[in-house]
Amino acid sequence: MNGPTILLTGGSGVVGSALLRHLQGRAVVTLTHRKPLTGDTVRGDITRPWLGLDPADYRALAARVDVIVHSAGSVDFGAAPDRLHDLNVRGTGHALHFAADADARLVYVSSAFVARTDAFARIEQQSNGRTITLGAYARSKTTAETMVRESGLPATIARLSTVIGDSGTGRVARLQAFHYLVGLAMNGMLPFLPAEPGTCADLIPQDTAAAALAALATTDTDTGSGEHWITAGPAALPISRVIDIGLKVADEWLRRDPTRAQMTADVFKPLLVSPQTSAAVIDLVLAHAGPQAQPSLISHLTGLMAAFNGADPFPTSLGTIPGGPPAPTETAVESALTAMCHHLAGLPKEIWSPSF
């Protein structure tokens, strides 16, 4: 096979699984942990020194690899800070150590939301812990980025925004927070959404993200270094448009199959309210629920929307990466979102069982 031998971590995740498909025909070794994968795999653990491998296996792997794409990590912004640090920070340290031992270039899969870490911190202070935000997650990715920069190794940082399903099929390896937001709205289970006027969501299809990462991993060192924004940029969609697309797809499914009575989104279209109003509602609910109350779905979604509210658009590097995908257009993003909504509409209704 021509080209570099690539070690991929996080191959079972949303981004990693799409990247693995995109790299078919290339020399790829996937570091697996719990979930078995097909192809050339090595069972290990990114949170442990030496990637959880014995010395002989570690040396053999290091002798083979030219590029490591480090996609493993937690994207659960409600996870405990210790868990986020273990996966996102310590795991990156081990990936860097391997890259040094292998004399390999590193492509670190980060998050565009590191640019909004300060905003998340302010919301955490204002909410006094009532709202789970991306703060701890963004801080863990920021710390990992700093480690990559200070390592002195040949490396590129790829900052991804909100990854949605495949642009053609809408399918996604694992549902994440944004998918639940749209799915609940489509099923009439989201009474309101905290969104400031003009709020936009930066969405990137998983296959577009995979194409960009593949280009960064297989290009020359000079091109594949520095920071690259794998985002929609100016093609980000107004959140009101996101909801409207979801409701339109839900209506299409309901008309096609009237027995799908759980799809009542045309009746229960979520009301877009200010974050301040949302916070007041959460305060009221928790006051009645008592001090032991756990963060509700609405508080989780309030935290998620904090990633979008009142923020300037992300820059984008798409269209400038040699061999990578073109810069997205609003039409292309809307088409991918529509495909994702059709995928969500076909999922069992038991998935959409929120607790407010």
- Sign of the Cα pseudo-torsion (317, 320, 321, 327, in order): positive
Say if residue 293's pLDDT is above 70.
Answer: no
Classify burial at 330, counting beta carbons within 10 Å of its beta carbon; exposed 0-12, middle 13-18, buried 19 or more.
Answer: middle
Smallest CA-to-CA distance from 331 within 248, 218, 241 is with: 241
pLDDT bracket for residue 267 (50, 70, 90): very low
From the centroid of its chain, how far is CA 279? Answer: 25
Smallest CA-to-CA distance from 15 within 187, 159, 228 is with: 159
Say if residue 153's pLDDT is above 60.
Answer: yes
At 109-137, the pLDDT tens digits run 999 999 887 767 666 665 555 555 677 88
Give 151's DSSP letter: T
pLDDT bracket for residue 356 (50, 70, 90): very low
- The whole-number pLDDT of residue 159 equals 98
Q: Is the pTM of this model over 0.75?
A: yes
Q: What number of residues does the chain have? A: 356
φ and ψ at residue 187, rounded to 5 degrees = -100, 15
Residue at 235: amino acid letter: A
* Mean of per-residue pLDDT scores for the chain: 86
- The whole-number pLDDT of residue 148 equals 97
Once rounded to an integer, what is the mean pLDDT over residues 271-284? 69
Q: Which two tokens stand for residue 30?
A: 């996937």
- The whole-number pLDDT of residue 354 equals 58
- The whole-number pLDDT of residue 341 equals 97
Say if residue 342's pLDDT is above 60.
Answer: yes
Q: Which residue has the tokens 């391997």?
A: 98
If DSSP codes are grouped into helix, strand and coil, which group holds residue 163? strand
At 38-58, the pLDDT tens digits run 789 899 999 999 999 999 999
Neighbours of 259 (CB within 10 A): 6
Q: Output 116 or 315, whichever has higher pLDDT.
A: 315
Once rounded to an integer, what is the mean pLDDT over residues 328-355? 90
Domains assigned to the chain: 6-351 (3.40.50.720)
What is the pairing mode between strands 192-194 and 162-164?
Answer: unpaired
